[in-house]
Chains A and B, each alone.
Chain A
Amino acid sequence: MTVSMMENLNAMGISSGMVTSTVITIILCVIAILAGRNMQLKEPGRLQNMVEIGIGKLYGFFEGIMGKKLCRQYFPIVGTLFIYILFCNYSGLLPAAGELPGLKPPTASINCTAAMAIFVFFMTMFVGIRANHGPKYFKHLFKPFAFLFPLMCIEMVVRPLSLTMRLYGNVFGEETVTHQFFTMIPIGLPVVMQALSVLMGLVQALVFSLLTAIYFTEAGEIEGEELETL
């Protein structure tokens, strides 16, 4: 039944990754709603406590990188990216992921990672413009020397490209290698690869959100530097 349903969806242009991504989003929403429903300050429930500890750790980590003010402003975006990418990467660890129709890690498709990277690209500009009160932000392209302008432009455009390629290449490559190992030796060897991919999924989610945080910090800090020099 699911196979024929998935075929219909595929004919409509909806891929397995999109289905998995939607399911992940729904699961995350349900967890968030359940944990956030009648929150207690004195005696937090089990789920609330668990989520609070996780988010607290994540917040502390990003606070060390972005600083207090920026972390308070932009932690929702960065943290969401981390959690979403983590769940997407780990959805590839589920049994028969990639074989079963409708179950495929969304980050193994270039469309998903490109969408996130482009969002980060424009969000970085937004952060810069907001922190610098207007298009003064783009002056940083001429910052050290004006003749470096083309180079700075290339650097800016390469950022989303490398973000896309890094996440997509890692997850897709890992999926492909696991699949190849499975066809070679079905017992034993894929387990080793799966254990490695647990680590890989975490590191890639961390790297994506860490780089996003660093781009935001860089964009948001320009104003402070200018004020100091003036």
Chain B
Amino acid sequence: MGMVALGAALAVGLAAIGPGIGQGIAAGKALDGMARQPEAAGMLRTNMILAFAFMESLTIYGLVIAFLLYSKV
């Protein structure tokens, strides 16, 4: 039982590392672009949110697995 709880915590914890780093890089680059070219800010923002959605879904998969495991504890 304890191992299942540990697994649930690790599932979401580990799944958050990669997308966290990735979103940081993406947001940084997007802000860089917006600062250089403020007139392109609208398009950049839309695409940034779209890119975030794909990265975020990886964490969400981990979260869903964590919930699945959590219901077994």
What total of A-B pairs shows CB separation below 8 Å?
40
Mask, B19-50, CB within 8 Å of A = 1, is 00000000000000000000000010010011
Contact indicator B50/A166 (Cβ below 8 Å): no
Interface of B is mostly: helix
Q: Which of A64, A165, A168, A207 contacts B50 (CB 8 A)?
A: A207
Total count of chain B residues near the partner, CB < 8 A:
13
Let me know if A141 is at the binding interface, CB within 8 A.
no
Q: Are B50 and A210 in contact (CB under 8 A)?
A: yes
Interface residues on A, range: 10 to 19
Contact with A along B31-73 (1 / 0, CB 8 A): 0000000000001001001101100110011011001000000
Known pairs A162-B57, A166-B57; A207 contacts B49 (CB<8 A): yes
User: Can you give 15 contacting A-B residue pairs, CB < 8 Å?
Assistant: A61-B46, A64-B46, A168-B64, A169-B57, A169-B60, A169-B61, A169-B63, A169-B64, A173-B63, A203-B49, A203-B52, A210-B46, A210-B53, A211-B53, A214-B50
Give A residues with C-beta under 8 Å from B.
61, 64-65, 162, 165-166, 168-170, 172-173, 176, 203, 206-207, 210-211, 214
